[in-house]
């Protein structure tokens, strides 16, 4: 175990120099207090969870103190926002404090979000409000617990510093952890500003630090692109299988590591709706739930364009062509597991599609359906779930086909339940749950957000006494408008 003050830093990204980032000191927020910390994320830095209780903890993560070896810097990048190229973005309200090396030798970026203005703040105030910081914290740690690749969150601190959005709110900071903060947009920035040397430096950095295996390949940059395509295919398959809607899939919010990154107006589906648009500002539905698949491919094409500096375009095209089939294979695999199926069969894709259409037509709760399907033997589970469907003939036909698929599996109901409950969460981060704990936190009560975080850290476990967190949203919580203004 390490103590908070003796973390070991090795700031590899900072050493790339001023073409890549600018030195900026965090601007502290007033009277900071710890809202919530993640013991699991602290463990990544070898920190004892008890360290969160000391006063220094909130000081460090609210910009009042810094480690001697930290080198806070704002990174420059660009990217395609809603399909339109924005030539200059960057860390407008977050700073890379440095890279901590843990006992296992892993480097973890410490990124302080809401740390004040930087040269990339444009018209913004450099701040993050409490509500959006809590939302990112909860989602980061929950997606990780669900087995979905993601950046992590160490803690949120609240303050008395006022911030103006649609109304007066208060500033908060989130400490984000990731193995890298390099985005697709980093590559785009150096490509479109015609800085081939820096583009190469960035590429070498990413290869050496994060994809050393690619360096052994004949064409390292092609191998890198292929790997990013593969990782994104797996990532998006997880999002689609678990009903996660990111909301702002701009290329500057896409991580080169293929992890969920830059949480904004995200949502998990309550009722299944393939067309769900979780971002209130997304008028055209560009980032609707089902569009996440083609949009990921679109973003990969934008990254591929920046890599034409290193690789023949035909080879990049071929690698990009792997995305859809890989996505489809991952997705089918995840959905088969969610259905409790232990092998693959010809008609599985159609079986899954028919189920989703039935769920869509009857506004069935996406998470609770799969959990209940594993609770009892197929016949009983289906008889109970039937009540939730409007198209009974359609459901009965589907149920018969599903049961026929289950018949081959003779492991017994106990094994089936354990298997299915291991992949079908009982607890999911519903928008209304986040909203409830945010309202309490805004009143200074951090108990609810801590409890919700604890529940969502074990989403597959039965947690006696916590059943209310598995309930469908009340009427007020069904259509919460979440916008980008955070």
478 is an annotated ligand-binding site residue: no
Cβ–Cβ under 8 Å, residues 162 and 130:
no
**For residues 113-152, which are near Mg ion according to CB under 5 A?**
none
Compute the radius of gyration of the chain from its Cα atoms.
Answer: 23
Using the rule CB under 6 A, is 240 a contact of ligand AMP? no
- Integer Cα distance of 472 and 43 in angstroms: 33
Contact string 64-103 vs Mg ion (x = CB under 5 A): ----------------------------------------
354 is an annotated ligand-binding site residue: no
Contact string 100-139 vs ligand AMP (x = CB under 6 A): --------------------xx--xxxx------------
Task: Residue 27: count other Cβ atoms within 10 Å of its Cβ.
Answer: 16
For the record, the structure tokens of 358 come out as 């039935």
Question: How much of the chain is in helix, strand and coil states, percent to nearest 5?
Answer: 45, 15, 40
- Integer Cα distance of 181 and 254 in angstroms: 10
Which of ligand AMP, Mg ion, none does residue 91 bind (CB under 5 to 8 Å by kind)?
ligand AMP
424 is an annotated ligand-binding site residue: no
- Integer Cα distance of 345 and 216 in angstroms: 37
253 is an annotated ligand-binding site residue: yes
Number of residues that bind ligand AMP (CB under 6 A): 16
Using the rule CB under 5 A, is 262 a contact of Mg ion? yes
- Integer Cα distance of 163 and 114 in angstroms: 11
Residue from 14, 9, 114, 151 nearest 73 by CA: 14
Inter-CA distances, 358 with 252, 339, 389, Å: 36, 15, 7
**Residue from 109, 252, 270, 273 carrying the catalytic annotation:** 252
Name the residue with the smallest CB distance to ligand AMP. 124
Is residue 252 annotated as part of the catalytic site, yes or no? yes
**For residues 216-255, which are near Mg ion according to CB under 5 A?**
253
Of 92, 149, 473, 477, the one binding ligand AMP by CB under 6 A: 92
262 is an annotated ligand-binding site residue: yes
DSSP of 350-382 = HHHHHHHHHHHHHT-BHHHHHHHHHHS-HHHHH
Which of ligand AMP, Mg ion, none does residue 225 bind (CB under 5 to 8 Å by kind)?
none
Binding site members for Mg(2+): 253, 262
Footprint on this chain of ligand AMP (rule: CB under 6 A): 89-93, 120-121, 124-127, 248, 253, 262, 264, 484
User: Hey, which residues are catalytic here?
Assistant: 252
Binding site members for ATP: 90, 92-93, 113, 125-126, 176, 183, 262
Binding site members: 90, 92-93, 113, 125-126, 176, 183, 253, 262
């Amino acid at each position: 175990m390490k103590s908070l003050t003796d973390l070991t830093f090795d700031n590899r990204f900072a050493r790339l120099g001023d073409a890549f980032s600018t030195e900026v000191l965090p601007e502290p927020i007033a009277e900071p207090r710890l809202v919530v910390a993640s013991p699991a994320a602290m463990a990544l830095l070898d920190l004892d969870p008890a360290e969160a209780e000391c006063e220094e903890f909130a000081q460090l993560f609210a910009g009042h103190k810094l480690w001697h070896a930290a080198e806070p810097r704002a990174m420059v990048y660009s990217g395609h926002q809603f399909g339109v190229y924005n030539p200059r973005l960057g860390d407008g309200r977050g700073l890379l404090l440095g890279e901590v090396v843990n006992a296992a030798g892993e480097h973890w970026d410490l990124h302080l979000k809401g740390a004040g203005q930087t040269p990339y703040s444009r018209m913004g105030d450099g701040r993050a409000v409490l509500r959006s910081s809590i939302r990112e914290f909860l989602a980061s740690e929950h997606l990780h617990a669900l087995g979905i690749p993601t950046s992590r969150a160490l803690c949120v601190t609240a303050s008395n510093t006022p911030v103006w959005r649609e109304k007066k709110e208060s500033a908060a900071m989130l400490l984000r952890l990731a193995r890298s903060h390099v985005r697709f947009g980093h590559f785009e920035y150096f490509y479109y500003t015609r800085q081939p040397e820096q583009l190469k430096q960035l590429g070498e950095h990413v290869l050496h630090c994060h994809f050393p295996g690619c360096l052994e390949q004949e064409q390292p940059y092609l191998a890198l692109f292929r790997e990013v395509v593969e990782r994104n295919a797996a990532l998006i398959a997880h999002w689609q299988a678990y009903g996660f809607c990111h909301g702002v899939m701009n290329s500057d919010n896409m991580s080169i590591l293929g992890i969920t990154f830059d949480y904004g107006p995200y949502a998990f589906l309550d009722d299944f709706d393939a067309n769900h648009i979780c971002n209130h500002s997304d008028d055209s539905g560009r980032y609707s739930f089902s569009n996440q698949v083609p949009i990921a491919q679109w973003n990969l094409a934008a990254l591929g364009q920046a890599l034409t500096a290193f690789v023949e375009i035909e080879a990049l095209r071929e690698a990009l062509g792997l995305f859809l089939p890989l996505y489809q294979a991952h997705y089918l695999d995840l959905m088969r597991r969610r259905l409790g199926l232990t092998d693959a069969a010809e008609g599985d894709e159609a079986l899954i599609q028919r189920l989703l259409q039935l769920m869509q037509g009857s506004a069935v709760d996406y998470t609770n359906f799969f959990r209940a399907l594993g609770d009892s033997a197929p016949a009983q589970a289906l008889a109970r779930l039937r009540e939730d469907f409007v198209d009974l003939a359609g459901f009965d036909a589907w149920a018969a086909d599903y049961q026929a698929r289950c018949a081959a599996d003779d492991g017994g109901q106990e094994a089936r339940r354990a298997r299915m409950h291991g992949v079908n969460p009982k607890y999911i981060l519903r928008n209304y749950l986040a909203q409830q704990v945010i309202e309490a936190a805004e009143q200074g009560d951090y108990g609810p957000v801590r409890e919700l975080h604890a529940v969502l850290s074990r989403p597959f476990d039965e947690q006696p006494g916590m059943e209310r967190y598995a309930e469908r949203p009340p009427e007020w919580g069904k259509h919460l408008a979440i916008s980008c203004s955070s």
